[in-house]
Chain A
Amino acid sequence: MESSEFVAEVEGVWKVYITRGASIPALRGVSLRIRRGEFLCIMGPSGSGKTTLLNLIGGLDSTSKGRILIDGIDLTGLSTSELSRLRHSLMGYIFQSFNLISVLNAVENVELPLIFDPIEGEELRTRAKALLERVGLGHRLTHRPSELSGGEQQRVAVSRALISNPHIVLADEPTANLDGKTGREILELMKKLNREDKVSFIIATHDRRVTEFADRVVNLIDGEVVGEEIVKEGSPALNK
């Protein structure tokens, strides 16, 4: 499985939401392959289906048609607990509104995904601290979310997403709740971790600045992929 070139393959995926009799096609035949270590940006206006696509790749929701492979594993046939285990070992999530647990401090929030794993408490603590130091929060280890700024909370969330050494980190509008400068810092941080750990990042956003950091930008409109831009490493954004 490790030999597969792609961490995620999206093949002809449809997602139709059915609410009160009305059916809303949020994704209409999306196909996409994400390489190992790629920093991919899914760009599109609000309502274009970015969150839906991310949720499907992340194994949080199921497709209406088509299939998704993660490390060569087809998510379609998996049971709830198999899916849960796959998310646990292969995925990390970053949300727009950080979604940290308010009663836990920074280190405990980072430890959360692994607290039930067969790993020594000491070792887990060391790993969580090391991650927080890498994201520049070594001095905020025991602060609770309410005592941290938005940027700091998102750094904690980034560390939490990486604690299990995932193959893919999915970030939905990670900069939308941050001011310009802080958003940029978070993107720089994610890019750094992407380079150092060779972990794939998929970032859904309508924020054009993200494209500056991406290896590739996929444009989504009305549930369809309408184009791709390959961004050369180190080059500024293609479109301004």
Chain B
Amino acid sequence: MFRSLGVMASIAARYLRRERRAVLAISTIATGIALLLVSSLLSTIIIDQSRFLAIAYSFDAAQLVRAATALSLVAVLVGAAETGVVMSRVVLSRIKSVGVMRATGIGNSRVFSLFLLEAAFYGIIGGAIGIMVGAGIATASVIVSLGSGALTAVLSPLPLVAAEGLGLSVLVSVLAAIFPTAKAVYMRIISAIYYE
């Protein structure tokens, strides 16, 4: 079990290193997660700071936050769609390999997991970059606008928000990879081997 995982991880890592398309998937995921992070870290500050505005113009500051969150979720979804497109290209370029693996008797579920694991790697890397960038932007904007005193309040939810962001990016990448992978794995073996 663990050996299988180790083997899959090492193969997926090898693919990852040599897959140019990965950059695209990773950067879109990173953008989405960064936006999500910025909006959730700054939400308390935004509500706090817009209180006066809200009183003056009688609107709900929380609405502003919800709008920002919705926007970043859209970014994450776009990242997901992009990952889906990238994964289908990746799988397409490897249909022959999938055929050969299946011919030699490597089970469908293992071939399947191999691709999903690779997608999960995209999610982890993209998510991690997004978290660093997002936390960086939030920190910088707080320091510039309110000074470093406000920093502790802003950064206190960081571990939780970061964990959520990472979970979301992995989930989204894996989900996006399922359909294109299923197509290759459940294709007739000979069609896969002789695929051009």
Contacts and interface: CB of A to CB of B under 8 A. Distances in A.
A87 B7 contact: no
B148 to A, nearest CB: 46
Contacts of A121: 3
A55 B190 contact: yes
B152 interface: no
Interface stretch (A33-41, A97-105, A228-236): A97-105
Contacts of A115: 7, 11, 106
B151 interface: no
B101 A112 contact: yes
Contact of A87 (B105, B110, B193): B105
Contacts of B20: none
Nearest to B94: A101
Contact of A93 (B4, B97, B104): B104
B188 interface: yes
Contacts, number: 66
Q: Which bucket holds chain B's interface residue count? A: 20 to 34
For A84, A115, A121, the residue with the greatest tally of chain B CB atoms inside 10 Å of its CB is A115
A47 B110 CA distance: 34
Highest count of chain A CB atoms <10 Å: which of B14, B99, B103: B103
Interface of B: 3-4, 7, 11, 14-15, 17-18, 96-97, 99-108, 110, 188-190, 193
Interface of A: 55, 58, 60-61, 80-81, 84-89, 91, 93, 95, 99, 101-104, 112-113, 115-116, 118, 121, 160, 164
Given A58-B103, A86-B105, 15 more contacts: A60-B103, A84-B102, A84-B106, A88-B105, A93-B100, A93-B103, A93-B104, A101-B100, A104-B14, A112-B104, A115-B106, A116-B110, A121-B3, A164-B104, A164-B105
